[in-house]
Every structure is written in structure tokens, then in C-alpha cells.
Amino acid sequence: MAEDKPLAVVTCTAPVNIAVIKYWGKRDEELILPINSSLSVTLHQDQLKTTTSAAISRDFTEDRLWLNGKEDDIGQPRLQSCLREIRRLARKRHSGNGNSGDSSSRRSSLSLAYKVHIASENNFPTAAGLASSAAGFACLVYTLAKLYGVEGELSEVARQGSGSACRSMFGGFVQWVMGQNADGKDSIAQQVAPETHWPKLRVLILVVSAEKKHVGSTAGMQTSVKTSLLLKHRAEALVPERMSQMTQHIQQRDFEAFGELTMKDSNQFHATCLDTFPPIFYLNDISKQVVALVHRYNAHCGKTKVAYTFDAGPNAVLFMLDDTVDEFVDVVKRSFPPENNGGQFLKGLPVGSATPSEELLSAVVRDPTPGAIQYMLLTKPGPGPALVEDASCHLLGADGLPRSSS
């Protein structure tokens, strides 16, 4: 029967973002207000994305959530904050249209009383430290906004789910302005440049470990804010100027300056983790080998051709221009030979073959470590969240339950 079907089903996708000027530390835990601004690159959804479907129906008896095919707790405080805020904005919009007597308005107000079912999945390993929470909450907020007909500024809502999620509400190059207001209304994301701005930029992710980190980001930030004097100095004295510099480097497409500042900011972020008491170690020995490899490669080339950044985990995100990719991928393969003969070692965008000179190899490749890197993924800057028009892509079936994986 028609009444058994969800009143509405909406499916959207959202991207991962990687910060090049890092966010670390909150001044308000509940609203997720940062102690400094940050800047990131949105990665292309062809390689990394979250897909979310949301449905409402008069037949649903409770709000429910499924993540990667398994039912999860929809009562999580941050998730509830996003859901509550989208519903509040929807009520405000519907009550403010002045046409409460028309049928569409009555249906809209009635639908706000219905329960919602949400299903979400990633096309990349959730536990691999690839910013799944940023993509996940951005996708959740964007999908719910489409479902309930909410328009306008949404990065403030996404921020309340996961701080970095606000940056995934835009494509290309995005800044999260820390804001000053206690209510967080001015702590929002803004696009610095679209994904089409720097067509030659490439991003190579080296997955070192898919294990969950020993110290979660939230707990790590809390300890750093309490104990690290370097963190306070960084936020107040250094980040504002770095935000300005990074914006300029991106606008000018100056890769050497962009790459050098990206590495320095990553190093400083991890220095604040070491300055935390007790210290926090997110990088492992393989991470440090990648750092050394990048510096040897750049030194041999006589300029910055590859830049690394590490979030709160051991996996390396490397930036380079497209004409560097083939050679550097070969160098990585020689430095960290895959144990499975290259099976699914390289994923994402296609990579051509290269034959580095013996001079380069002898200067750069040292003590190969087989199996240290699980796989590599090549991608590029990409667009922000998108509505999926194809109904066959819905994660929820006509009964409002997850579709069978079969």
C-alpha cells in the first residue's frame, strides 16, 4: 500500500577533507567552537565519500540509524544536536511562510512529527583515519536539510556534529573561521577557491594503519588545551598569519610555498601533541620514514615537489602536482614494497609507469620496508555535498529499512 511507503526518501553524498592548517582544541565542547581557524582541501568523491539516505514516514515508530549496514545508536549527543537543529530550522521555515492553510504546508508541518530512518555508508575504510566523521556528519546534515526543505547556512549545523565536518560542506579549498561569538553563529566554513581552481593538484594517501588510534581526537584536544603552552601560542600568535599565507599560496597556485607551509603546520600540530602532558604520539615509525623520504626526495630535486600532512593518526596525506605523481609513486613502491605483489596496493586515479634515474634512487630510497604501507590512494580536489537523483542508489528500501546487500 502507498501508506506503507516512506513519505519521502532523500539520498546525498559528501566528501572527506584534509586540513593543511590544522584545527586542534575547542573553546566550547558542546557547540564545538575551535580555539583557532583552519583551512582544508576537499577530496574528490570518486575516491572517498559518504553516502546517506534519510526517510520519514507516519509508520515509523522511532528514529533509527544504520552505519555501514549495522544498526547504531541514534541517541549519540552530537548526532542528536544535528537532527534537533535541522528540525528546528524546518519548523521555523514552515511557520514563517505565512501559508499555514495550504495543503503543502500542512503536510510539511505534519512530517516534522514523523520519525526518521537514516542509513549511511562509506566507500572507504571507516577505521583508517581518513576523516570519516567529517564526511559522515556533513552528509547527515546535508541529507536531512534536503529531506526537510531547509536551506541556507548549514556548516554551522554540521560543526555541531564534528568540527571538521563544517569544512566538508564545500568543495575545493575551505576555511573554517573560528568566530568570536559565544553562540557560535559566526563559527562557519567558507570556500576559499573551488575545486576547479588548481586542476594539476593531486593528493596521495598512504594508509599505514587501519587500527583505531590510542587517544581519540576529542580526548586529545581536551588534554592539549589544558596542558600545552605551545598550543595556546600557536592558536593566538601563529595560526592567523598562516591562514592568510595559505590562502594566498592557494590563490596563486604556488605549490612550493603551499607545500612548505603544509608540512610546517603538520609538524607544529604534532609538536603540540608532544607538548601535551602526558604526551600524545599519533605518528609511528612508518610515518617518520615517510617524512624522511619526502625530505630526501625534495632535497634531491632541489625544491619542494611533495608535501606531507598528518592528522591525528599515522596515515600520510601527500600533496604534489600531476607531473610528479608517476615518479614519486614508483619511489614509494620501492621504499615500501607491497607484500601482495601490488594487487590492490594502488587505488583511485590511474598512475602511469615511471623509471626514476639511478642517481635519484640511490639518493632517496633507503632500507626498504616491505608491507609497511597497506595501500595507496590517489585523488584530487573535488566538489562539496550533492543530491543523488537516482532512486536506485537509496540505501533504504520502500519499507524504510536498509536494502539487502545481496
20-47 pLDDT, tens per residue? 999 999 999 999 999 999 999 999 999 9
CATH number reported for the structural domain that contains residue 141 in this entry: 3.30.230.10
In angstroms, how far is the first alpha carbon of the chain from the final one? 24
Is a pLDDT exceeding 80 seen at residue 123?
A: yes
Tell me the mean pLDDT in the region 360-365. 97
Please indicate, yes or no, whether residues 348 and 394 belong to a single structural domain of this protein. Answer: no
Regarding whether 368 and 307 lie in a shared domain, the answer is yes
Is 260 in the same domain as 226?
yes
Extract the C-alpha cell encoding 15.
566528501
pLDDT at 147 over 90: yes
Q: 287: domain CATH number?
A: 3.30.70.890
Query: Which domain covers residue 44, as residue numbers?
Result: 1-194+384-406
Q: Report the alpha-carbon distance of residue 50 to residue 66 in Å, rounded.
A: 13
Pairing relationship of beta strands 17-21 and 375-379 according to DSSP bridges:
unpaired
Q: Can you give the pLDDT at residue 125?
A: 65
Averaged pLDDT for residues 221-247: 97
pLDDT for residue 95: 81
Q: Quick one: CA dihedral 194, 196, 198, 201, positive or negative?
A: positive
Domain match, 343 and 218 both: yes
Question: In the structure, what pLDDT confidence band is assigned to residue 215 with cuts at 50, 70 and 90?
Answer: confident
Residue with cell 565542547: 29
Same domain? For 190 and 327 the reply is no
| pLDDT at 66 > cutoff 90 | yes
If you search the block for the grid coordinates 630535486, which residue do you land on?
301
3-class DSSP assignment, residue 189:
strand
**Which range (91-105, 138-152, 359-373) has the least confidence?**
91-105
User: Are the CB atoms for 115 and 61 separated by under 8 Å?
Assistant: yes
Look at residue 127 in the predicted model and tell me its pLDDT: 52
For residue 22, which phi and psi values (nearest 5 degrees)? -80, 145
Q: Is pLDDT at 101 greater than 50 in this prediction?
A: no
pLDDT at site 272: 98
- Lowest mean pLDDT segment, chosen from 66-70, 138-142, 176-180, 378-382: 66-70
Mean pLDDT (the chain) is: 92
User: At 382, phi and psi to the nearest 5?
Assistant: -145, 180
Co-location of 151 and 256 in the same domain: no
Task: Evaluate whether 295 touches 364 at the Cβ level (below 8 Å).
Answer: no
Bigger pLDDT: 132 or 75?
75
Q: Are residues 65 and 212 in the same domain?
A: no
| Same domain, residue pair 243 and 336 | yes
Q: Is the pLDDT of residue 106 over 60?
A: no
Q: Is the pLDDT of residue 219 over 50?
A: yes
Listed residue (127, 125, 114, 159) closest to 140, CA to CA: 159
Q: Across residues 62-88, what is the average pLDDT?
A: 96
Domain co-membership, 175 together with 270: no
Q: Are 307 and 170 in the same domain?
A: no
For residues 290 and 328, is the Cβ–Cβ distance under 8 A?
no
Report yes or no: 379 and 203 within 8 Å, Cβ to Cβ: yes
Same domain, 135 and 67: yes
Q: Residue 315 — very low, low, confident or very high, per pLDDT cuts 50/70/90?
A: very high
Query: Do 61 and 131 share a domain, yes or no?
Result: yes
Residue 103 has pLDDT above 70, yes or no: no
Cis status of the peptide bond prior to 278, with omega within 30 of 0: yes
pLDDT of residue 383: 98
Domain count for the chain, please give it: 2
Report the distance separating Cα 286 and Cα 289, nearest Å.
5
